């Protein structure tokens, strides 16, 4: 089976600083992939490039046999790639439901119907935001804002969902419920690339893990293999000890 996404030697410079150096990997349809690495490793930058929000300095991103040109994220959404943001970016003046409507009315198979469809309500129930549906998103707690990020992205019906640290800042039980959601999303047929800092969370849901450090891909493989990889341990312990 051909990969759903292939990232080929992607490099990204920010004014002379190399955030990504020749990163390559492939994702197969239907999996949950973990992308881990210490602070500043380049995870978010990589996600933004796949999501079409940033143009790579060099290299290419091919999604379902089509090359994405980058720099226009709405095009990627229409191809089936939707991302969440590490720091939530809700449409603050809009209600929670209207935030989700933006996803459902402009995403893949964009709907013409007005807000408040069954689909939108189902998503709200699913992520546990039904009780705040009519409240302006600005008033949500951080945990709920993280959930809204996920709900909004799901409403856009992605084939490939890019999650950027959807669990950071959440309590243990909130984390568990979000991880359960990710599993359910995967079971519904969506491929997931899940960026996370928190090793435990990644190890518990992912089939396959990509490890990054200093803008390079360090290793990839099964969660168990990565946990025992000396280079990975070095990158993590080395950094943690340093700070």
Partner 1 sequence: MKGRLNKGVSSPSKFAAALAPFLLVAILALLPLLEPGSETIRLLFVTFVWVTVSVAWNLLGGFGGQVSFGFAVFYGLGAYAAALSLNRGISPILSFLLAGSVAVLASLLVGLPTFRLKGPYFAIATIGASEAVRVVMTNVSITGGASGYRIMETGTFHQLQHFYTALALAVIAMAISILVQRSKFGLALIAIREDEEAASDLGVNPFRAKLLAHALAAALTGAAGGVYARYAAFIHPQGVFAFSVGVAILLMPIIGGVGTVWGPVIGAVVYGLVHEELIASFPQLHLLLYGSLLILIIFFEPGGVIGLLEKSFRVFAYTRRLSGSHPQR
Ligand X SMILES: Nc1ncnc2c1ncn2[C@@H]1O[C@H](COP(=O)(O)OP(=O)(O)OP(=O)(O)O)[C@@H](O)[C@H]1O
* Pick 96 or 194: Cβ nearer Mg ion: 194
Give the one entry of ligand X, Mg ion, partner 1, none that residue 40 binds, where binding means its C-beta sits below a cut-off of 5 to 8 angstroms depending on kind. Answer: ligand X
Residue 45 binds to Mg ion (criterion: CB under 5 A): no
* Pick 120 or 196: Cβ nearer Mg ion: 196
* Pairing state between β 58-63 and 5-14: antiparallel
Give the one entry of partner 1, ligand X, Mg ion, none that residue 219 binds, where binding means its C-beta sits below a cut-off of 5 to 8 angstroms depending on kind. Answer: none
Interface residue list for ligand X (CB under 6 A): 14, 17, 19, 37, 39-45, 86, 197
Rounded CA-CA distance 41/45 in Å is 9
Strand stretches in the chain, DSSP E: 5-14, 17-27, 32-36, 58-63, 66-68, 81-83, 160-164, 191-195, 208-213, 216-221
Member of 44, 84, 145, 190 binding Mg ion (CB under 5 A): 44
- Cα 62 from chain centroid (whole Å): 17
Give the one entry of partner 1, Mg ion, ligand X, none that residue 197 binds, where binding means its C-beta sits below a cut-off of 5 to 8 angstroms depending on kind. Answer: ligand X
Site for Mg ion in 125-144 (CB under 5 A): none
* Pairing state between β 32-36 and 208-213: parallel
Write down the least CB distance from residue 21 to ligand X, Å: 11
Rounded CA-CA distance 22/30 in Å is 25
């Amino acid at each position: 089976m051909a990969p759903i996404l292939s990232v080929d030697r992607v490099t990204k410079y920010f004014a002379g600083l190399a955030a990504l150096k020749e990163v390559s990997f492939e994702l197969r349809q239907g999996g949950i992939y973990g992308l881990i690495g210490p602070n500043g490793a380049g995870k978010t930058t990589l996600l933004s490039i796949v999501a079409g929000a940033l143009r790579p300095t060099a290299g290419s991103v091919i999604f379902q046999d089509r090359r994405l040109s980058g720099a226009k994220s709405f095009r990627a959404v229409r191809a089936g790639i939707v991302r969440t943001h590490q720091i939530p970016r809700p449409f603050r003046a809009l209600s929670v439901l209207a935030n989700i409507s933006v996803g459902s009315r402009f995403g893949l198979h964009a709907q013409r119907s007005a807000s408040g469809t069954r689909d939108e309500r189902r998503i709200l129930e699913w992520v546990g935001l039904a009780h705040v549906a009519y409240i302006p998103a600005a008033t949500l707690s951080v945990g709920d804002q993280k959930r809204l990020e996920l709900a909004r992205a799901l409403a856009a019906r992605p084939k490939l969902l890019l999650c950027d640290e959807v669990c950071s800042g959440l309590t243990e039980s909130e984390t568990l419920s979000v991880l359960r959601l990710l599993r359910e999303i995967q079971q519904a047929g969506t491929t997931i690339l899940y960026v996370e800092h928190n090793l435990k969370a990644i190890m518990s849901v992912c089939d396959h893990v990509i490890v990054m450090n200093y803008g390079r891909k360090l290793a990839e493989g099964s969660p168990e293999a990565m946990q025992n990889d000396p280079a990975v341990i070095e990158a993590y312990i080395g950094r943690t000890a340093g700070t």
